[in-house]
Structure 1
């Protein structure tokens, strides 16, 4: 679907005012998106209106077509070959074989594209009003926080579109233009950009977000009275932006030092400030299974609060159903190498089905750990630092820090670069199971497949046919 059509839908359709039981990191959450320009003007006439609109974007990100399922444990992990052979009744049956032109795969891919750009359109609507309405904010700090988050979300969403719908730079050494970086709320069709031009715009957004978020309470330690700005892990906060910058610099392919510096800043926040601490043993291995911190929530640098997560996982990785169940392809003893790794605890029996990924199960009776879908983890920063440092001994130290935190008693001692690469890949397989990050690791390294008995990788999803025909986008081979 063309971005122009998405903009039209955003303008002519109003999302129902919904009062959820919890504001996004507050007491209530009004999901308000404007029906037309008059309503948009009214919405953005107060600081609360900007907050509600931004919460609406997080809501869109949490839908099953995006990070509520397909860009986490669903589509993205299927094409990473995380799961064993899927039944022909599975919605991912053709997708697992990279048959992206099947009706089944196209429906998933087209919905993903549409929803992602819908979220981007709503971010751009916020940004279209925020500077001219700066006077409605109660302080420069709250203005900077809202604008910084909006810019960061726009970059976050675009990066995943690039990682799915365009070749990686190592396979794209031409100036061919692939995707638009949509940075304005407009009915006009945005022009496609080359890989480098796209990444330039993305990194500018992140750089501007970083500057604005220097006032973030998670960095300054200052307390804001407005509850909206509490619980900063539920927002793309300052350190989440640094983590996203590390991810983006690494993916670009020629900015290893920049990636290392950003990852190191987040690691330092953990080691020096006590932020994002590794999960406690008692929380990871609680003898009362329903009280376990299954996603290691203290380690989330940025997480989505998905109130319908139980519904989204049902049939797939919870209360599994024939034809839907997503079971790991690799035997657990092979994946975890026989170690008493805490992460192995979260593959459990569900009825008669064994080794069901239970990380996302919503069983905590106190709701302390439920609804959380990790978007950026502190462990990813350790892996990026290990991959980008020029010091092999330091790389080993970063990996061993995570291994120790996961209860792996044996430390790595061989600093050989190929060995390090192998160990980082192992960590991605274990750490990000059900979170959608493994496919991008493979793509970044131009892997041919995921190992024995898997399909050869195809790395570029087809865009919707309307985008190719009317949006001047390239048609992938």
Structure 2
């Protein structure tokens, strides 16, 4: 979908919705504030911000549907060696999971569209909000800070798929960075320029969110944190710095989060995945899903219909201590004669697949700090301590190990794989560390079992619709090989 057409479409859709509603009852639907309207109060900006968050539930972002979807929830694991396609699959993902995509792939275009919709709504929320800075500084900070963080976060997510070399100073092409709602076509900047814009938005967001009128999330309950606060921004920074190879900054940002957010006690770990409000449960940011709003992981295991389209690969499944590791029973279960991913069954005792998507947990911060410290002088002792701390929280009777060098780095990589399985990381983790992806458990339905370093499929193509409509992006700006 074309950038300017995406933005225009939002206004048209909103206007059409309003016109339709006005023909029945003379009110505007709540949270529908299109790009043609000038906001008259911070209430309007608050409504717009709520609408921005709601778009993360799109089936092309964190949600799922009957076709290719879940680009940042389940798909990165489906495209990796963590999962294996089964005979129960409806083959909706064949091109994506076999890395056989082209610039006219509809799923790729849908993700591009969904992401820039969120960015456009964030930019609506930011447009002319500075008029109200003096009126209510705390509320202004709270709204603007969240919108800036969302804008940066979504651009970062796009960069993970559409950029090749993710290092901080890379001169390869990044993604168009949209900073205003009514902005016309935007060219592809370099990856370095993309990072500069991402970090600038996040740093400003952090400063604003440290001084707000009210608490955005509970300071003690980490069971449901549906909005971005200063803790969340530091977590996003830690993740982004790791990808950019800025290891000192990644370790520092992760430490800020770890100091405030505890790991869940073993007895409470399973409740995280059932969205049970038990107090401190290590969530930093989650996207709520309720009845009628979709499901975030049904394309892996459709709980209501008991269809397991993707099972855990034997390669990763057999790395868990099935007796002592609390993650094993929280993440998997035996149904009939097969092992399924049961991480997202539902809330409480339900098995309808309607469960909140866990965007960031504090365990990731331990793994980020550990990995980052293996690249820093004198950092191995801290890295080892973080690895042993996380394992001790997850494995009953765990005895700390002593590792160094490549063995330590490999152990952290494996622990990251086990801890964050089906949380949208694995494909990107292999990509950013420039390793080969080898499916030792390829099953009968994958047609491609190896993705070598340098293969074009590590980078998604810019959608052909964008190239046709955007006069600043042409075939010369397409990713290599497409």
What TM-score, normalized by structure 1, do the two folds share? 0.83
8 Å contact kept, 2:251–2:369: yes
Identify the match of residue 196 of structure 1 among 179, 192, 199. Answer: 192
SS of the aligned residue for 1:302 comes to strand
8 Å contact kept, 1:245–1:259: yes
| Displacement after TM superposition at 1:420 (Å) | 1.8
Q: Which residue of structure 2 aligns with residue 394 of structure 1?
A: 382
Q: Which residue of structure 2 aligns with residue 148 of structure 1?
A: 145
| Displacement after TM superposition at 1:321 (Å) | 5.4
Structure 2 Cα separation of the partners of residues 464 and 207 of structure 1: 30
Aligned counterparts, 1:157-236, within 5 A: 157-169=154-166, 175-216=171-212, 233-236=225-228
Relative distance call for 1:351 and 1:267 in structure 2 (3 A) is: closer
Q: Which residue of structure 2 aligns with residue 405 of structure 1?
A: 393
Q: Which residue of structure 1 aligns with residue 463 of structure 2?
A: 464
What TM-score, normalized by structure 2, do the two folds share? 0.82
Q: Which residue of structure 2 aligns with residue 343 of structure 1?
A: 327
Aligned counterparts, 1:38-437, within 5 A: 40-41=37-38, 44-69=39-64, 70-87=70-87, 89-101=90-102, 106-134=105-133, 139-169=136-166, 175-216=171-212, 233-253=225-245, 255-270=246-261, 277-284=262-269, 298-308=281-291, 311-314=295-298, 316-319=300-303, 325-330=309-314, 334-338=318-322, 340-349=324-333, 351-352=335-336, 354-364=338-348, 371-389=355-373, 390=376, 391-437=379-425
Relative distance call for 1:196 and 1:333 in structure 2 (3 A) is: closer
Structure 1 Cα separation of the partners of residues 278 and 328 of structure 2: 12
Relative distance call for 1:109 and 1:323 in structure 2 (3 A) is: farther
8 Å contact kept, 2:63–2:296: yes
- Unaligned regions of 5+ residues in structure 1, if any? 18-29, 224-229, 271-276
8 Å contact kept, 1:53–1:126: yes
| Displacement after TM superposition at 1:314 (Å) | 4.1
- Unaligned regions of 5+ residues in structure 2, if any? 19-28, 65-69, 443-448
8 Å contact kept, 2:35–2:124: no
Structure having the higher helix fraction is: 1
Relative distance call for 1:312 and 1:377 in structure 2 (3 A) is: closer
Structure 2 Cα separation of the partners of residues 6 and 175 of structure 1: 27
8 Å contact kept, 1:320–1:350: no
| Displacement after TM superposition at 1:252 (Å) | 1.1
SS of the aligned residue for 1:376 comes to strand
Structure 2 Cα separation of the partners of residues 67 and 267 of structure 1: 25
Relative distance call for 1:13 and 1:363 in structure 2 (3 A) is: closer
Cα shift readout 1:190-222 (whole Å, capped 9, x = no counterpart): 121001011001100001001101125559999
Structure 2 Cα separation of the partners of residues 446 and 296 of structure 1: 39
8 Å contact kept, 2:316–2:418: no
| Count of residue pairs the alignment pairs up | 440
| Displacement after TM superposition at 1:441 (Å) | 1.3
| Displacement after TM superposition at 1:234 (Å) | 1.1
Structure 2 Cα separation of the partners of residues 222 and 322 of structure 1: 38
SS of the aligned residue for 1:374 comes to strand
8 Å contact kept, 2:163–2:173: no
* Segment drifting more, 342-351 vs 426-435: 342-351
Relative distance call for 1:83 and 1:232 in structure 2 (3 A) is: closer
Structure 2 Cα separation of the partners of residues 240 and 115 of structure 1: 22
SS of the aligned residue for 2:284 comes to strand
| Displacement after TM superposition at 1:90 (Å) | 2.0
Relative distance call for 1:174 and 1:206 in structure 2 (3 A) is: closer
Relative distance call for 1:102 and 1:257 in structure 2 (3 A) is: closer
Cα-Cα RMSD:
3.3
| Displacement after TM superposition at 1:97 (Å) | 1.1
Cα shift readout 1:284-322 (whole Å, capped 9, x = no counterpart): 358xx9978599981111111122466454464133758
Structure 2 Cα separation of the partners of residues 422 and 364 of structure 1: 36
Structure 2 Cα separation of the partners of residues 267 and 99 of structure 1: 40
